[in-house]
Amino acid sequence: MSATPPLRLAITPGELAGIGPDLVIQLAQQPHDHEWVVIADPDALMARAKTLQLPLNCHPFDANHFRASGLGNISVLAQTATAASPPGEASTDNANYLLKCLDAAIDGCQQQLFSALVTGPLNKHIINAAGIPFSGHTEYLAEKTRCKQVVMMLASEQLRVALLTTHLPLRDVSDAITADSLETVITTLRGELKRYFCTHEPHILVAGLNPHAGEQGSMGREEIDIISPTLSTLRDKGFSLEGP
């Protein structure tokens, strides 16, 4: 059991044919204090549970009644899939369904029905192949919430890693690195670490782009022309920075 006060958390399992539904069903077997509200097709979840030979009870989500999840029980905010998606057989017919699940989760978070959103992996190719431009959760959430500046951060108890660019082909990364974008991301990261992680003054290590941080320009000049000058400017403003 968790020492955290019971929370109501939204979960989108992601691609029906992928690993997301399996993880949700396996998670549901454990005891929890929190309410997991799974935004998905309940029939698809039940079919996957049968395949996994695991018990599962899908209870209709009731915003006025808190129901702790676990021991085979989850709350479900039902969405209807267009096509059956057996494991490993993703269908473009479900592209709109996948995004509707995300939209319902976003709406619930904005209405403060949920304390947080957990997203399972999506098959970006399936969505794009259906004619819907989609580069990833990060960009989609930003667009739907009209958030101009977002930073993706991967976090564990020991390490937090923020990204300057997201979901770009490797050949486009260098052109996307500018003094303005770097300063904006570091400034946002510093503020949010203070706000959400109670860090008085975060010490941020900034990696180089090129091998060996460019070897003084012999393997690329981004460190000399962009990264180092930007860090110097931010240090003058009181930021605790190291690198590249």
Q: Is pLDDT above 80 for 4?
A: no
**What pTM, to 2 d.p., does this model score?**
0.87
**pLDDT per residue as tens digits for the range 49-62:** 999 999 999 999 99
Q: For residue 206, how many other CB atoms are within 10 A of its CB?
A: 20
Cα separations (Å) of 112 from 32, 78, 105, 140, 142? 21, 18, 10, 19, 17
Extents of the domains making up the chain = 8-144, 153-242
CA-based nearest residue to 69, from 136, 157, 10: 10
Q: Are strands 35-40 and 73-78 parallel, antiparallel or unpaired?
A: parallel
Superfamily of domain 8-144: Isopropylmalate Dehydrogenase (3.40.718.10)
Mean pLDDT, residues 23-36: 95
- pLDDT of the residue at 214: 86
Q: Is the pLDDT of residue 90 over 80?
A: yes
Residue 78 has pLDDT above 70, yes or no: yes
The answer on pLDDT for 1 being more than 70 is no
DSSP for 92-152, written as a single string: GGGHHHHHHHHHHHHHHHHTTS-SEEEE----HHHHHHTT-----HHHHHHHHTT-S----
pLDDT band at 2 (very low <50, low <70, confident <90, very high): low
